[in-house]
């Protein structure tokens, strides 16, 4: 059936001004809400700063001074291991500064033949150097340990990583991203943007501030690489 011309014009007429005013009003309300929602406006303004300058290891040192030569910089990448020689013992390179509440980000790559021994790494945080050993939380890296929270030289495994989604996008010997986010007693780990685990610390005696460190585990002939390392200290 043919529609009369006036009806066609009515059906295609612009929406009323009151409708557009309502839309604008709704947008303003949403803007105010998101700007004042708890944690959103504050944390979005937190600036990420580099922890590694891509040139040398200034601001970093090894737990064992004898291991300093094992860590080096190549092509703007912090590295340890050569993929040929086995790693004789665990070695850690840590920041000189301590951090409490923060969001740590980096890209990492762990490679090596597991037939030569264990290929494993990790990111220490809120850690202390005690009697020549590093003690504290570790965001684990490596087969069988991806995305775990481990308590190095203290209590062992605290939370296991959920690989149900991660296994689809993880590149076991390629570049991946890590986010370690800790505020108060609440910890969260993300690999490639996927949350692997969370943990709430109930022991008030455990230090809530410490150094950040990168590790390579003893065992096989492995290589670990870190780049684009940044930290945002949370209010």
- Dist. CA 148–CA 170, nearest whole Å: 14
Q: Is 230 left (phi over 0), alpha (psi -120 to 50) or beta?
A: beta
Q: Find tokens 């969001």 and name the residue.
A: 103
Q: At the topology level of CATH, where does 47-233 sit?
A: Jelly Rolls (2.60.120)
The runs of H, that is alpha helices, within 14-130 are 17-36, 40-44
Check if the beta carbon of residue 123 is closer than 8 Å to that of residue 230: no
Residue keyed to tokens 């022991």: 203
Residues in the chain: 235
Nearest to 87 by CA among 114, 109, 125, 60: 114
Q: How many CA atoms lie within 13 A of 149 on its CB side?
A: 23
Report angle CA 163, 125, 223 to the nearest 5 degrees.
65
**pLDDT score, position 46:** 76
Structure tokens at 138: 């570790």
Are 97 and 211 in contact by the 8 Å Cβ rule? The answer is yes
Q: Where are the domains of the chain?
A: 5-41, 47-233
Q: What is the pTM of this model?
A: 0.80
Q: Residue 23: its pLDDT value, please? A: 56
DSSP annotation string for 63-94: SSGGGGGGEEEETTEEEE--SSS---S-EEEE
CA–CA separation, 173 vs 76, rounded Å?
A: 19
Query: What SS3 class is residue 17?
Result: helix
pLDDT of residue 27: 61
Q: What is the mean pLDDT of each run of 10 residues along the chain (235 residues)?
A: 46 56 59 46 69 96 95 97 94 97 98 95 98 96 97 96 95 96 98 97 97 97 97 96
Secondary structure class of 39 (helix, strand, coil) = coil
DSSP state of 2: P
Two tokens at 139? 């965001």
């Amino acid at each position: 059936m043919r529609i009369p011309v006036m009806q066609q014009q009515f059906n295609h007429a612009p929406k009323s001004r009151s409708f557009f005013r309502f839309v604008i009003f709704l947008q303003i309300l949403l803007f105010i809400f998101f700007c004042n929602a708890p944690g959103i406006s504050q944390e979005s303004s937190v600036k990420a700063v580099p922890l590694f300058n891509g040139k040398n290891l200034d601001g970093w040192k090894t737990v064992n001074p004898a291991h300093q030569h094992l860590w080096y910089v190549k092509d703007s990448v912090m590295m340890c291991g050569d993929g040929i020689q086995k790693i004789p013992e665990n070695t850690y390179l840590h920041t000189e500064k301590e951090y409490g509440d923060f969001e740590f980000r980096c890209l990492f790559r762990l490679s090596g033949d597991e037939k030569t021994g264990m290929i494993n790494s990790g990111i220490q945080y809120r850690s202390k150097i005690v009697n020549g050993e590093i003690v504290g939380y570790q965001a684990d890296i490596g087969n069988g340990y991806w995305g775990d929270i481990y308590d190095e030289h203290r209590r062992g495994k605290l939370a296991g990583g959920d690989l149900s989604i991660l296994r689809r996008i993880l590149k076991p010997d390629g570049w991946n991203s890590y986010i370690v986010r800790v505020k108060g007693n609440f910890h969260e780990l993300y690999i490639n943007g996927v949350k692997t685990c969370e943990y709430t610390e109930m022991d008030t005696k455990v230090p809530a501030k410490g150094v950040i460190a990168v590790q390579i585990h003893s065992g096989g002939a492995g290589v670990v690489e870190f780049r684009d390392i940044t930290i945002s200290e949370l209010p």
